[in-house]
Amino acid sequence: MIKGYKGIPMPVRYLINAGLFVVFLVVVSSLTDAKVISTYNNKIIMLIGINIILAVSLNLATGYLGQLPLGHAGFMAVGAYASAIFMKAVIKTLPLGLSLPLGLLIGGLVAAVFGFIIGIPALRLKGDYLAIITLGFGEIIRVILLNIDSVIGFKLTYGAAGLKSIPKTTTFLDTFICVFLVCFVIHAILKSRHGRAVLSIRENEIAAESCGINTTYYKTMAFVMSAFFAGVAGSLYAGYIGILDPTGFGFMKSIEILVMVVLGGMGSMIGSVISATVLTALPEFLREFDAYRMVVYSLLLVVVMIFKPTGLMGTYDFSLSRLLGKPWERLTSGGKSKKAGDR
Amino acid sequence: MLTVNDINVYYGPIHAIKGVSFEVRPGEIVALIGANGAGKSTVLKTISGLLRPKTGNIVFDGRDITKLEAHKVVRAGLAHVPEGRRIFLQMTVIENLEMGAFTKSTVSEEDLEDIFTKFPRLKERRKQVAGTLSGGEQQMLAMGRALMSKPKLMMLDEPSMGLAPILVEQVFSIITELNKAGTTILLVEQNAGMALDVAHRAYVLETGNITLSGTGEELAQSDEIRKAYLGG
């Protein structure tokens, strides 16, 4: 549906983006190796990556689809536990190169299944009602994980004691490859025909329906995808932290992710990335101010909401190719005119 | 082309449509007129699959569409321009039109050009965000969007709503032109005078029942209609 795009051709655009991503990976890895970035800071950067996935995936349901699910931490928990149990079971038998992607996939898929089961009834509701049913779901997950420690005789989740000694397999590289893939997939879908359908549902559901869009299908699709990526983030988190405690996946965690999305701007991917970065890093870097750090955190939220109620970025999305489009055109057309001059 | 057989529609316990039957023949403009709450929009929503009738059936082009989901009804060739225009406010004019062709796998330039010749105003504003259009332009965009799906029958819900008299006239002359170009039209209107003017045939809906029917002219002359809807 996208009309002839002028400027940088498609493969080159992808190459530029992928290239910049590789540069980022190499720079941060080598800085860590050279001890410029401490291991502690490197850990925070990984946590930022996980939170970016959470925020971007929630943004798919909140910003682009226009719903308000409040149970994102629930999907994250389901994914985290599923992949943690899987990793514990296979870590000794399967090579890491195989078990790690499988673990991420299982975490994502289990969360997606839950997303589907919740989404079918929940998406018949709108606004506050959807918020409440997903909030309830998130709490159910937490309470179940807190109170059940074995499934049909197998000791799996360990209830309130927490799931311990999960293999710490998540590395910096894995985290950011996932961040890149998740952002890429969501971006690609949004630019496609399916993405248009999702956006049109946000704009006006009745109009979308009267354009021949199967709104139930697209709503469920976006919701399940959002759950899938939350599950992937949960899997990364499990392998990052090494111990899963159900209380960490409560209502406040869902709200924390939602705050990232709202602060960054609903419907802006770059907004989610920026605010996930800031809101993860800020409390850490304010640690020396101890008790005041949460004050600063909340003040920041209040100030942004007063001066920029649509979020930092609104619905604006950053596009590297748009930024580079002009110089590129000058470069290519300049080349051509020179040739003409030669003749 | 479209036959509605004795449909009964309920909103919970409320019996909104009480056994309504009517038909639209190919090439016609049929108007459904009536006061607020008569059930005009409900009838349209039922035809386009947004509501389900409890009993009765709807046949379109020889096919029973009573239980068809809304998005499949559009594919069958029946476009619905919903009440209050309902365009995608944050998308551009072009994007709105492209959404209208969602059921087709590609958008052809000719289709777009075709719409732009029918609605020259939209061409001027093709790159503009739809929310910045005036009410009349939004109505034209809504109609243009519906036409993008190449419907055999177009249903218009209150196209004159909230428009200045001159724009109402414009919208209705466009409706007549579209009809002459081959689109069958089912029109729901409160503006009975205007609707009866352009319609070949009309039905009067009163609290869920069809109380009168006839050609547009006949109804415009009828004393009952004049008293109830035309002011004298």
Comparing A81-90, A329-338, B127-136, the range with the smallest average pLDDT is A329-338
> What is the number of alpha carbons within 13 Å of residue B214 lying toward its C-beta?
13
| Mean pLDDT, rounded, of chain B | 89
Instruction: Select the residue of B75, B88, B102 nearest A204 (Cβ to Cβ).
Output: B88
Q: Which residue has the higher pLDDT, A151 or B100?
A: B100
Looking up residue B118, the CATH number of its domain turns out to be: 3.40.50.300
Query: Residue B8 sits in which domain range?
Result: 2-229
Chain B CA closest to residue A207: B86
Pick the most confident of A110-114, A269-273, B139-143, B186-190: A110-114
Residue A320, pLDDT score: 67
Mean pLDDT within B175-191: 91
Q: Long-range contacts for A277-280 (Cβ within 8 Å, ≥24 apart)? A: A277/A48, A277/A51, A277/A52, A279/A51, A280/A44, A280/A47, A280/A48, A280/A51
ipTM of the complex: 0.82
* pLDDT value at A340 more than 80: no
Q: Which residue has the higher pLDDT, A236 or A304?
A: A236
Q: What is the pLDDT of residues A48-78, one digit of tens each?
A: 999 999 999 999 999 889 888 899 999 999 9
- Quickly count: other Cβ atoms within 10 Å of residue A229's Cβ: 29
CB contact (8 A) between residue B103 and residue A203? no
CB contact (8 A) between residue B102 and residue A213? yes
Chain B CA closest to residue A205: B86
Mean pLDDT within A320-338: 63
Q: How confident is the model at residue B232 (pLDDT cuts 50, 70, 90)?
A: low
DSSP state of A247: G
Q: What is the pLDDT of residues A222-264, one digit of tens each?
A: 999 999 999 999 999 999 999 998 888 988 899 899 989 988 8
Instruction: Select the residue of B48, B91, B95 nearest A210 (Cβ to Cβ).
Output: B48
Chain A CA closest to residue B87: A207
Instruction: Select the residue of B80, B89, B95 nearest A210 (Cβ to Cβ).
Output: B80
* pLDDT value at B46 more than 90: yes
Residue A337, pLDDT score: 41
Q: What is the pLDDT of residues A95-104, one digit of tens each?
A: 888 888 999 9
Q: How many helices (H) and strands (E) does chain B have?
A: 10, 10
Residue A341, pLDDT score: 35
Token pair in block for residue B97: 């039109």
> How many residue pairs bridge chain A and chain B with CB atoms within 8 Å of each other?
63
* pLDDT value at A335 more than 50: no
* pLDDT value at A305 more than 50: yes
Count up the domains in chain B and report the number.
1
CB contact (8 A) between residue B100 and residue A1? no
* pLDDT value at A317 more than 90: no
* pLDDT value at A273 more than 70: yes
Lay out the sheet containing B78-81: strands in order across: B78-81, B153-157, B184-189, B29-33, B201-206, B209-215
* pLDDT value at B144 more than 60: yes
Residue A153, pLDDT score: 63
Mean pLDDT within A304-310: 83
Asked whether B130 and B96 are in contact (CB, 8 A), the reply is yes
Cα of B20 to nearest chain A Cα, Å: 23
Pick the most confident of A6-20, A114-128, B9-23: B9-23
Token pair in block for residue A229: 């990526």
Q: What is the pLDDT of residues A159-174, one digit of tens each?
A: 777 888 888 888 888 8
Cα of A310 to nearest chain B Cα, Å: 14
Helix segments in chain B, DSSP class H: 40-47, 70-75, 93-100, 109-118, 120-124, 135-147, 165-180, 192-198, 216-221, 223-228
CB contact (8 A) between residue B86 and residue A204? yes
- Quickly count: other Cβ atoms within 10 Å of residue A23's Cβ: 10
Q: What is the pLDDT of residues B49-61, one digit of tens each?
A: 988 999 999 999 9
CB contact (8 A) between residue A214 and residue B69? yes
CB contact (8 A) between residue A207 and residue B100? no
> What is the C-alpha to C-alpha distance for residues A246 and A40, in angstroms, rounded to an integer?
24
Residue A6, pLDDT score: 54
Mean pLDDT within A7-13: 71
Chain A CA closest to residue B81: A210
Mean pLDDT within B82-108: 86
* pLDDT value at A276 more than 60: yes
Token pair in block for residue A211: 């354009």
* Residues of chain A with C-beta less than 8 angstroms from the C-beta of B100: 211
CB contact (8 A) between residue B91 and residue A200? yes
pTM of the model: 0.85
- Quickly count: other Cβ atoms within 10 Å of residue B190's Cβ: 16
Tell me phi and psi for residue B193, to 5 degrees: -55, -50
